[in-house]
Structure 1
Amino acid sequence: LIVSWCTESLGCVQTIAKGARRPKSPFAGKLDLFFEAEISIVRGRKSDLHTLTEVVLKNPVPGIRSNYLRTQTAAYFVELIEICTERDHREPELFGLLRRAFGYLNANDPTPRAVSHFETELARIAGVHDSKKLKADPAFALGNLFGRLPLSRAPLLKTLAIEAKNSSK
């Protein structure tokens, strides 16, 4: 099983969890979408695929998986970070942004404003958007810098707009 992680100390890394699908695996119940965990890895010698040796679950953020729209928004945030980062490049500010976003989504339903805030902060961290100087869309700046945005962005924003309209009635 190959698992991608966004970590504070290592950046975005990919690990192989050997034996994770076995019934008595030490990873059982510890590998799932959006989990916050402490991990131990052995660095790969010939590639950027590392071996996962230990996982200690810290925060399963159950609120994200309890609602499809929250899950969809969290997935968009992760996709965006994967596009905007290099593997094995430490970026603690990105980790902090993702942790705050997951904390928000764990307790609150997503809004277009929350998505815009995440994109603005990510663009600021990437150095391509200064909200005080530019009135341009931060997602546009990210798309220009990295060549694309996640395909899930348009359907997510459409769904969020419909939800916002329905909740204001």
Structure 2
Amino acid sequence: METTTAILLRKTKLTETSLIVTWFTEANGKIQTVAKGARQPKSRFAGLLDLFFDCEIQFMRSRKSELHILREVVLRNPHEGLRLDYTRVALAAYFVELIELVTEPDHPARELHDLLMRAFGHLNEKPASLKALLHFESELARLLGILGQENVTPAVAIGRAYHRLPQARPGLLKMLK
């Protein structure tokens, strides 16, 4: 059994009663867990599994696959301020897409976890802004070691290194101008 702090990145229906939950953890990087019974009305996970939640999770590592069993979730910060308007949610979702793009399963990346936590903390307190988007991209490129390799913007550097950027970026740029 392992315990770590984690940010909920994505939820996907697995069965009528269970979910696959993708987390970005401090200790293990990006992992996927099965939350058995999470879709049932009286689930032990009720109210604890929502996008962008900062939690402490306990999971049992699978020996056969990259899909682990979620045992316990303790909510640390729901980032309620982040949910105040659509633009904040859209920017947070963009940050999550970037993190998913640049990380591999089960590869610890504490600096990237800290960056995402700081970004969510910022959006929890302040409105979404173009400055926040550009700062996140710049910090991400710097942490990945791809900033300054060429005379290009951080977004272009990320796009070149990972062969794409999230599709939401152009619409988000329009929204934030």
Q: TM-score, normalization: structure 2?
A: 0.87
- What is aligned with 1:155? 171
**Counterparts of residues 16-95 of structure 1 (less than 5 Å):** 16-95=34-113
Letter in 2 for 1:49: L
1:67-96 residue CA offsets vs partner (Å, 9 max, x unmatched) = 100000000000000000011100000000
1:76-132 residue CA offsets vs partner (Å, 9 max, x unmatched) = 0000000000111000000000000000000111111110000000001111004xx
Q: Relative to total residues, which structure has the larger strand share, 1 or 2?
A: 2
Provide the rounded CA distance (Å) in 2 between the counterparts of 1:6 and 1:137. Answer: 26
Q: How much has 1:139 moved relative to structure 2?
A: 0.7
1:17-72 residue CA offsets vs partner (Å, 9 max, x unmatched) = 00001122110110001000000111122221111110000000001112100000
Q: How much has 1:134 moved relative to structure 2?
A: 5.7
Moved over 4 A (4+): none
Q: How much has 1:5 moved relative to structure 2?
A: 0.7
- What is aligned with 1:167? none
Q: Relative to total residues, which structure has the larger helix share, 1 or 2?
A: 1
Is 1:146 aligned to residue 176 of structure 2?
no
Helix, strand or coil at the partner of 2:40: coil
Helix, strand or coil at the partner of 1:136: coil
Letter in 2 for 1:127: G
- What is aligned with 2:119? 101
The alignment of Structure 1 onto Structure 2 pairs a total of residues equal to 159
Measured on the aligned residues, the alpha-carbon RMSD in Å equals: 1.1
Provide the rounded CA distance (Å) in 1 between the counterparts of 2:126 and 2:94. Answer: 16
Counting aligned pairs with the same residue, the percent is 55
Provide the rounded CA distance (Å) in 1 between the counterparts of 2:69 and 2:101. Answer: 23
Provide the rounded CA distance (Å) in 1 between the counterparts of 2:45 and 2:155. Answer: 36
Q: TM-score, normalization: structure 1?
A: 0.91
Gaps of 5+ in 2: 1-18
Helix, strand or coil at the partner of 1:24: coil
Gaps of 5+ in 1: 162-169
Is 1:136 aligned to residue 152 of structure 2?
yes
Provide the rounded CA distance (Å) in 2 between the counterparts of 1:45 and 1:147. Answer: 32
Provide the rounded CA distance (Å) in 2 between the counterparts of 1:143 and 1:31. Answer: 31
Q: How much has 1:135 moved relative to structure 2?
A: 4.7
